[in-house]
Structure formats: C-alpha cells, structure tokens
Structure 1
Amino acid sequence: MKIGILTADSNGCFPVPASKGGAVSTLIESLIRENSEKGLAELTIFSYYDEKAYKKSRKYSNVNFIWVKVPKYIKKLDSLFYKIIKKKSAVKAISYKSIFSLIYYIKYVSKYLKKNRFDKLILENNITIAWIIQLSHYNGQYYYHLHNVPRINPKCKKVFDKCAGYLCVSKYVAHQIESEDNPIGPVDLERIRVVYNAIDTDLFKPYSINHKKMIRQQIKNKYSISSSDKIILFTGRISKEKGLDVLLDALKKVKVDNYKLLIVGSIMHGANEKNNFVDLVKHKAHEISPHVLFTGYIAHDKLADYYNAADVAVLPSTWEEPAGLTMVEALSCGIRVITTNSGGIPEYVQNYAIVLNKAENLKDKLSHAISASLINDNLVDRYETYSYIKNNFSTHKYLERVVKQLE
C-alpha cells in the first residue's frame, strides 16, 4: 500500500523526523520506525526541511521523504509577522509563528499531488492543509488524522465532504466532530475511526530499583534537591490550559513540607518565549519558593529519567485535552499520576491514575490528592501499570493499527 503523510504546522515548522520535538512529529516518526522494521507500507513523508531531520532520516528504510525547503525570504516574513502579532497577544502569536511557511508548504505539496497519487493519503491534524486537496484537485482517497478538535473551518467544504475517513485520537474528539456545532461537522459516524496515540514503551518504562535510585540521585544533585525531599513532577507546555497555575495554588495547602516541584517544559516545544501567563506562573512559584524549580525544555528522550526520579506526576489539565500523552508516559514509567477528567484523558488512563473532577474545587482536590500521595509510601504496581500501557498504547504496533483503519 502506498501511503503519503502530509504534516505541516504554523507554530514553528516542526519537521519529521522530530529533530525539533513536537508531539505529532514524534508520533509520525514512530510510524516511520515501525515501517523500517516491518515494511508494512510504501511510506512517503512530506516534511519541512531541517538539516538535523534530514540527517536523522537517512537511518530509516522503507520510507521516502519529500522535503519542503522554505526560502529565506519566507522565513523572514514569518519572523516579521510573528513579532507584530506577539506585541498584541503572545499566546495567539504562537499559532502564527510560521504561517507563511505553511502557505508555502501548501502550494509546494499541491503541485506535487497534481502529478502523483497514493493508495491512501493522510492529512495530519492541521485543518488548514485541506487547501492542498482543494488546490491540487486530488481525487484519490484521503483521510484526516485529528490530534485535536478542529476549531476553524478553512472554507473547503468539498474537501471535508469527500474525505474517506477521520482518524481520531480519542472518542472525545470523535464525538466533537459528530456535532453540528463543530466547524467541520457534522461528520457521519461511519467515516470516524478511533486510533489511540502511542508512546515508545522501550523508552518510557520503569527502571530497575538500582537504576531508579541512581537517576533520582543524579537529578537531585543537578537541581540541589535535598535527599529527604519528595519530587513532584509537572511536564508539558507552560500554558493556561495545562493547569500549572492551579497546581501552584494547590501546593500552598499541601500538608507535606519536604517536597520540590520540578516544572519540566517551556511555552512551546524547545522555545523560551514569554507571555503574561508565564509571568503569572513565576509569581505564584515565588510565593512558595524554594519549593519550585524550573528545568526549562528537556529533550523528549531524556524525559523518562525525570518520570522515574519523581514520586508523583501531577498533570492537572484544565481544558478538554484530546488525548494527554504526558499522562501515559508517566504511567508507563510506573509512578503515581494525578490528572483531571478532561477530554480524552480518562480513556487513556482508565483507573490507573487519580482522576479528579476539574469542574469543582480543583485546587482543594489537588492539594488533598498530592498530600495523600506524598504521605503514603506504598509503591504502585509499576509493572502492572507498564503492562497496561504497553498492551494498549505502544508504538510497536502503532502503524499496524493505523493501516488497519485505512483498509
């Protein structure tokens, strides 16, 4: 089966392989890795060009890369436009960080598809790349792989009407696009398939007792954390919807004093932008200083060390999170996870995490749950939790699951 995958964004030009990070890019790379091992399909990836990604791509077999090299003048336009938008709204500006590069990508790939066809074409997440189908007059089978709930309609009604199917990362996303209230809805139920996201369970796994102790001590030494302190871990973007401000408020009422909160992340993947919310978070962190430490961006392949070093991961998403892979990564490493009943999160964590109702008194509920977790030293069954994640969300059979839904 010849499968083409279109992946483009407007918030930083994340390439595949995922040399710059990015959740969607990382997932696509896992498809590539699996196909290199199993040869399940003839894969073609349409990716922004990045030198590191290009070098990394050469280790993969059974895959063809179509590199979209964005001209320097386009990148300069992006930079100028981004500066203008950022002055008005730093949060909104992120979505426009590489908008002209996205337009260039759409035009470039549209020309390619006028002359080339695939058995199946997958449009990854970005709803605006529907214009590739529109401009190329593509008449082959294509599918949308939705990692988020669509919030805009790019005025390509025929494209969505003719879409062969929608691969949704959770039942929550599927229900949203069934609704007439959704910008691309209502989508017929028979065209919707749920394909749960995946993580690398060879990377995210419980360490042996001795290895865990060693890594824990290394991280404590790195951040000058006392040997008696418990580690609370928050991973993810420092953005309003991830609930970090609520967590910081909740920690004021925690009944344990010997803890450190490690905040692993930045405003965007690998970026160090600032906005009003970051300032608010720093102010709240200062109020409970010295209990809070900011690590900044940590490379994806290093995150398992931080999960294994922690006593509990608190990921209190306050928006309707489509999936929530950080929760799955933490569970896979065998630690306690405290999260919320947001979007598709309960579908992934089931009863293996402490799931709080975010609608009422979330700060108090978080405070109580964190206190209980830090006081109670009984270990979770690390290998039972890992087995659940490996059996349901491992990248080892991710491509198989995707291909099955395309047949």
Structure 2
Amino acid sequence: MIKNMRIALITASERPIPATKGGATQTMMTHLIDVNEEYGEHHFFIFSYYDYLAYSKSKEYKHTSFYYYKPNAKMDKLQNLFWRMMRKLSAEQIYLRSNFIKWCVNTISKEHYDIVILEGQCFHTQYMRQLYKGPLILHMHIDRLNNELKSTKDIINCCDGLFAISEFCKRRMTNVVPCASEKIIVVRNTVDTDRFSRRGRKNAALAIRNKAGVKPNQKLISYCGRIVPDKGVLELVKAMVLLNDSNLKLMIIGSSVYAGSKKNDYILKVEKEAKKICGGALFTGYIEQSKLPNYLSGSDITVIPSLCREAAGNVTLEALGCEVPVIASSQGGIPEYADTMACRLVNCDEHFIENLAKEIHELAYNEKLYSSLKFHAREVAVAYNKYNYYRNFIHAVNSILNQ
C-alpha cells in the first residue's frame, strides 16, 4: 500500500465540497475527507465550485487542501451550451470543454499529485486527458458508460483507471471495452449510517405514523424517491390495490424531480390509482434529506420497485440503516446492495405487479421472516459505512497505481 498519497478530487457539479448544499456524490466525497481527517493517512486536494459556507467549513481540515473556482456564470453557461451543441452535431466526435476543467488542470500542474480523480465528470474526461498527462481515474456514479453512449470507448481508453459503483456497471463498461476489465474497479457507495439510524427517533417515527394516519393494526409500506415511470411507482400502487388489504397503508415519499416541482400527468395518474388502495395512501411530497430518516424509521417495510436498470441501491441502504426490511426489484445493480439477509427481491417481468403484491403480503404477515430481516437490516447497512468506504476507495486507488 502506498503511504502518504497526494490525491486530487475534482467535484462532479457546481455543488461544493464540503457538502454544504447536499448532493449524493458531494456527500460521499465529504465522507472520504472526514475519515482521512481522523486517520491522517493521506492528503486530499479538493477542486470545487466556490460556496461561502463550504469555504468556511474547509478551514476545519488539516489533511485536505481546498481550491475553489469562482465561475463567470454567463460565460461558463454559454461555453457549456456551445460545446454540448457541437458534441451533439458531431455525433459525440467532439468532446466537451469547460473553463472549470481548464482551471483545475492549470492549478494541478503547479504541484505533484499521485493521482487525479474525476468524480462523475465523464463528458469532460477527454478534455481533461488532452490537458493533463498524469495518472487519471474516472469515478462513475451512474450507469452512463455503456453501448448506448457512442463515446464510451474513447472515454474508457483515455483513463488509467475507472471506479464503478456496482458489478452491473462494470459489466456494462467491459461490454464495450473487454480489455479494460483490470483497470475498472468496483467501489460501492456509502451511506451515512449515523444519520440513517432509528436511534433517538422513536418520537419522530411515531409522529410520522400519526401524520400518515396509521391505525394500530396497520403496517406502513413506504416508497422513497422520484415519482417517475422508470421507478415503478405506479406498479407499486397497483400491487397495493391488488392486495385489497385494509391493514396495509402506503406512504410515497418524494416528488417528480425536486423541491417545488409541479405535479405532472404521471403523478396525477399515480394519485388517482392510489385512491383505490383499501388501507389508504399518503403522498408526502418532497422531503429534505435531513428528515428522511424519520420517515423511513416510521415505516414497517420499504419497497423499491424500479423498472429501470439502477446503477446501485442507496435507498436500500438508507432504509436498512433505519432497521426497515426492503422489498426491491432485481434490476441492474440493486441486488448487489439488497442483501437477502435483510431484503426480498422480485424479478421484473410480466408478473411483476402480482409478485410484488405477494412479497408485500408475505413480509407483512410472516412474523418470523419479518423479524429475521429486520434483525439483520442494520448489520447489512453498516458494512457500507464511511469507514469501510474509505478503506475500499484507498485500496482501489492503490490497485490502479500499482498496475
């Protein structure tokens, strides 16, 4: 293992590091530097967009240096639109350029780094490689590099290493470039198991159940995520209708996209169908990340009915962290996170709705099964805590540098 590495991390979007404005990728990057702050094993260099709160918080770190980019909003936006248009017109032969990446490389070139890691910036990878010739890793957080993207091969080939968040995503990459298998390493996501926990949430969880109008004899089934067709929300509602059970209530946590988003035709269709649920349904709308553990802790079962090939399964881990058993579809990378010690999987086929209903009924009424899954839920989630994530991340960096 290489000691005292100098690791540069380039953020994936305009949300800053430390993660004062949220963001899944930004939160995981913050977990990395937080753990390293405790261990003091390496030195991280963060290249991020400027935010006053993030800048203020960055002063607390001894083992991380921060470089903040202050964008020219109009010029950067125009440049971004121009290169995106050129990329589209050229059938992805022309790659994206950005002032942010150029600024990062200009800053990086002034010092030595053992590795530079692009966090999710796949469309800027080729431009980064044109400007920077040192060791470069692309850390993908979604399923984007596959046969459906024309530039996948070029992006993979210009990296010294890639991190995928599931074996599913790695397979999708190696289907395009089979010889890249050794340099693609799976680094699974992390979850904040301190925050996603039932500990100290008894009253908050009870308040959520009261808000949902859950009766003493009812079980509360929850869904957490965007209300869009790919997530299978309508199929979940239809499964609940099919059960025709007054002892089962559904709580749908989320909206179509983000806070303040308006209801679209799909949400209206889901709401209309939900009125047929015998035990009733509650639509919470958008809920802030900080409050999600209360809602999950108030649930008896969480269902993840995704129809799309999910790259991973963070909601699975968040629910398990709150000691809530999960029923999930077997799509994409979900099964890699949904350990059967605490989860039940449902194949996504022509019988999906019927089988989903059967699993909900089985878990709601089989006390022995429910108790077993609930008992192991927290154990499964803790395996993905920030300390294990840090170790896996550092091990993966070493593997790339030692190739």
TM-score, length basis structure 1 = 0.82
Partner of 1:119: 114
* 3-state SS, counterpart of residue 176 of structure 1: helix
Structure 2 residue 392 is matched with structure 1 residue 401? yes
How far 1:186 sits from its partner (Å)? 4.2
* 3-state SS, counterpart of residue 242 of structure 2: coil
User: In structure 2, do the counterparts of structure 1 residues 155 and 345 end up closer, same or farther at CA, with 3 Å as the change threshold?
Assistant: closer
Structure 2 residue 361 is matched with structure 1 residue 365? no
Moved more, 254-263 or 121-130: 254-263
Give distance in 2, aligned partners of 1:240 and 1:18.
Answer: 29
Structure 2 residue 10 is matched with structure 1 residue 6? yes
Deviations 1:17-69 (A, max 9, x none): 33333221221111121112112221112222233433444444421222222
Partner of 2:28: 27
Give distance in 2, aligned partners of 1:302 and 1:73.
Answer: 35
Partner of 1:335: 324
Q: What is the identity, as a one-letter code, of the residue corresponding to 2:171? A: H
Structure 2 residue 284 is matched with structure 1 residue 295? yes
Structure 2 residue 116 is matched with structure 1 residue 133? no
Give distance in 2, aligned partners of 1:166 and 1:364.
Answer: 39
User: In structure 2, do the counterparts of structure 1 residues 38 and 186 end up closer, same or farther at CA, with 3 Å as the change threshold?
Assistant: same
Partner of 2:143: 149
Structure 2 residue 220 is matched with structure 1 residue 231? yes
Deviations 1:226-259 (A, max 9, x none): 4443211111222222211211111111242133
Moved more, 244-253 or 268-277: 268-277
**Residues 238 and 244 of structure 1 are in contact (CA less than 8 Å); yes or no, is this contact kept in structure 2?**
yes
* 3-state SS, counterpart of residue 380 of structure 1: helix
Partner of 1:171: 167
User: In structure 2, do the counterparts of structure 1 residues 155 and 247 end up closer, same or farther at CA, with 3 Å as the change threshold?
Assistant: closer
* 3-state SS, counterpart of residue 335 of structure 1: coil
How do residues 267-286 of structure 1 correspond to structure 2 at under 5 angstroms?
Answer: 267-270=256-259, 272=261, 274-286=263-275
Partner of 2:181: 189
* 3-state SS, counterpart of residue 148 of structure 1: coil
How do residues 190-205 of structure 1 correspond to structure 2 at under 5 angstroms?
Answer: 190-205=182-197
Partner of 1:51: 52
Partner of 1:88: none
How far 1:2 sits from its partner (Å)? 0.7
Deviations 1:55-99 (A, max 9, x none): 444444421222222334358869x99xxxxxxxxxxxxxxxxxx
Structure 1 stretches lacking a partner, 5+ long: 82-99
Taking only aligned residues, the RMSD between alpha carbons, in angstroms, comes to: 3.0
Partner of 1:86: none
Moved more, 248-257 or 224-233: 224-233
Deviations 1:369-395 (A, max 9, x none): 1122223345424443322332x3111
How far 1:308 sits from its partner (Å)? 1.7
* 3-state SS, counterpart of residue 3 of structure 1: strand
How far 1:347 sits from its partner (Å)? 1.4
**Residues 179 and 187 of structure 1 are in contact (CA less than 8 Å); yes or no, is this contact kept in structure 2?**
no
Partner of 2:366: 376
Deviations 1:164-205 (A, max 9, x none): 21111111111110012xxxx345211121111111222223
**Residues 162 and 183 of structure 2 are in contact (CA less than 8 Å); yes or no, is this contact kept in structure 1?**
yes
How far 1:324 sits from its partner (Å)? 0.7
How far 1:135 sits from its partner (Å)? 4.5
* 3-state SS, counterpart of residue 371 of structure 2: coil
**Residues 156 and 162 of structure 2 are in contact (CA less than 8 Å); yes or no, is this contact kept in structure 1?**
no
**Residues 206 and 386 of structure 1 are in contact (CA less than 8 Å); yes or no, is this contact kept in structure 2?**
no
**Residues 16 and 47 of structure 1 are in contact (CA less than 8 Å); yes or no, is this contact kept in structure 2?**
yes
Give distance in 1, aligned partners of 2:56 and 2:128.
Answer: 29
User: In structure 2, do the counterparts of structure 1 residues 4 and 364 end up closer, same or farther at CA, with 3 Å as the change threshold?
Assistant: same
* 3-state SS, counterpart of residue 20 of structure 1: coil
* 3-state SS, counterpart of residue 326 of structure 2: strand
Give distance in 1, aligned partners of 2:337 and 2:59.
Answer: 33
Give distance in 2, aligned partners of 1:104 and 1:271.
Answer: 31
Q: Percent identity?
A: 31
Q: What is the identity, as a one-letter code, of the residue corresponding to 1:239? A: V
Of 338, 344, 355, the match for 1:354: 344
Q: What is the identity, as a one-letter code, of the residue corresponding to 1:3? A: I
Give distance in 2, aligned partners of 1:227 and 1:243.
Answer: 28
User: In structure 2, do the counterparts of structure 1 residues 3 and 275 end up closer, same or farther at CA, with 3 Å as the change threshold?
Assistant: farther
Partner of 1:254: 243
Q: What is the identity, as a one-letter code, of the residue corresponding to 1:380? A: S
Structure 2 stretches lacking a partner, 5+ long: 83-95, 399-403
How far 1:284 sits from its partner (Å)? 3.0
Give distance in 1, aligned partners of 2:52 and 2:75.
Answer: 18
Give distance in 1, aligned partners of 2:150 and 2:111.
Answer: 24
Deviations 1:255-282 (A, max 9, x none): 4213332222233354525544334333
* 3-state SS, counterpart of residue 252 of structure 1: helix
Structure 2 residue 103 is matched with structure 1 residue 108? yes
* 3-state SS, counterpart of residue 188 of structure 1: helix
How far 1:132 sits from its partner (Å)? 4.2
Give distance in 2, aligned partners of 1:158 and 1:368.
Answer: 45
